[in-house]
Structure formats: structure tokens, C-alpha cells
Amino acid sequence: MVLPEVPVLLAPVHQTEISYRDPTRATTLLVWKAVSGASSYHVMLDYSPYFNRPIVDNRRIKATTVELQGLDVGTYYWRVAADSSQTEGTSPTTPSSRW
């Protein structure tokens, strides 16, 4: 069985500082590069690089973007894995990115 490739994270760029005039009404867009053969993606967001208690843990995302609204001010880590219905497997997750 060949697993899908690991997605490439595009935005927000690693270690970017993002500020909003009103964080409670702001939208942060997570973007990654599409993986050939991926049927969906698994996206995780956490305050910790260990992803012990993810704030977001969404599977079966068809798009290569996720909009997050109303995040508190702080540091976040995110990662993505590609799922493939053809191989019935999941790629390793991307290295986590921090913003």
C-alpha cells in the first residue's frame, strides 16, 4: 500500500505574527497544497506542538483551505494529513507550523 504524499502548508507562513483589529470577528485562513490522489484531508489546530488537546480536529475536509473564526490572541500550531480512499491510508502529518 502506497500512502498519499504529505501536504505542503502554505499559509499562514511558519512563525508569522498575525494581528487583527478585532480578533473575535476575525477570520484566519489555513491553506495547503493539494496532494495528488487525496480524497480528503485531516486538519488539526492546537495551542501546543504536541496536539494533546486539539482545538480543531476535522477529518474528511475536501478543500485545501479551512476558515477559522474568532480565535483568541495567542500562539497556534497546525498540521494536515492527506487521506486517500484509493489506498485506504493516511499520509504522515505535515511538520507542525506555528503562528
pLDDT at 43: 97
Average pLDDT over all residues of the chain: 89
pTM of the model: 0.87
Q: How far apart are CA 79 and CA 46, in angstroms?
A: 9
Scan for cell 483551505, then name that residue.
65
Is the pLDDT at 86 greater than 80? The verdict is no
Contacts of 21 (CB under 8 A, 6+ apart): none
Q: Which is it for strands 97-98 and 56-61: parallel, antiparallel or unpaired?
A: unpaired
Query: Which of 34, 97, 30, 96 is closest to 67 using CA atoms?
Result: 30
Side chain identity at residue 63, one-letter code: A
Beta bridge partners of 81: 42
The pLDDT > 90 percentage for the chain reads: 59
Cis peptide before 92 (omega within 30 of 0): no
pLDDT at 45: 96
